[in-house]
Amino acid sequence: MTSLVLTVIAPDKPGLVEQLSQTIATHGGNWLESNMSRLAGKFAGILIVSVATEQSESLQNALQALESQGLKVTVESSQEQAAGAQGSSISLELIGHDKPGIVRDISHALSRFNINVERLSTELVSGSMSAEELFKAEADLTVPANVDLDDLQQSLEDIASDLMVDITLN
């Protein structure tokens, strides 16, 4: 079996997931995992498909052909499963007034500690007491065993203070 990682983007309209899933099924693929959403009027997503190695090329060609119908699909092939990440899993939650650079500053701090971001979700939400837009982020992280969590917490608190956001590690 071959694992294919697909990224998809198209102008949003009904039927895109059905079109994609039908193409995958017709070519013997199995839809394993996905994360898709509507962003700025576009349908965008990423998914993992498993397919018999001998059918991989025909599936990839069929997915590329969807571009003529407005659905752009990029395919990356992987013959082996990724090794499980080493370390502990923690979650990060952030909320504060929106301003440029929040993701850059937080991801820079995480990178200094060699922390892997497994999942990141961000959105703008209305403040409960005001109409101000707040930036909200949730992330699942893998922290190497040699990282002192108190040092990480302090580093993130320093950034939170500069950015005027609240950061919680669980």
Helix axes 53-65, 16-26, angle to 10 degrees: 150
88-169 has CATH 3.30.70.260 classification? yes
C-alpha–C-alpha distance, residues 32 and 34, integer Å: 7
pTM of the model: 0.79
Query: What are the start and end residues of each CATH 3.30.70.260 domain in the chain?
Result: 2-78, 88-169
pLDDT recorded at residue 131: 76
Could you report the average pLDDT of every consecutive run of 10 residues in the chain (170 residues)? 96 95 97 94 96 96 96 87 72 92 94 95 85 91 95 92 90
C-alpha–C-alpha distance, residues 159 and 56, integer Å: 46
DSSP 3-state percent helix, strand, coil across the chain (nearest 5): 30, 45, 25
pLDDT recorded at residue 128: 76
DSSP conformation class of 28: T
2-78 has CATH 2.40.50.1070 classification? no
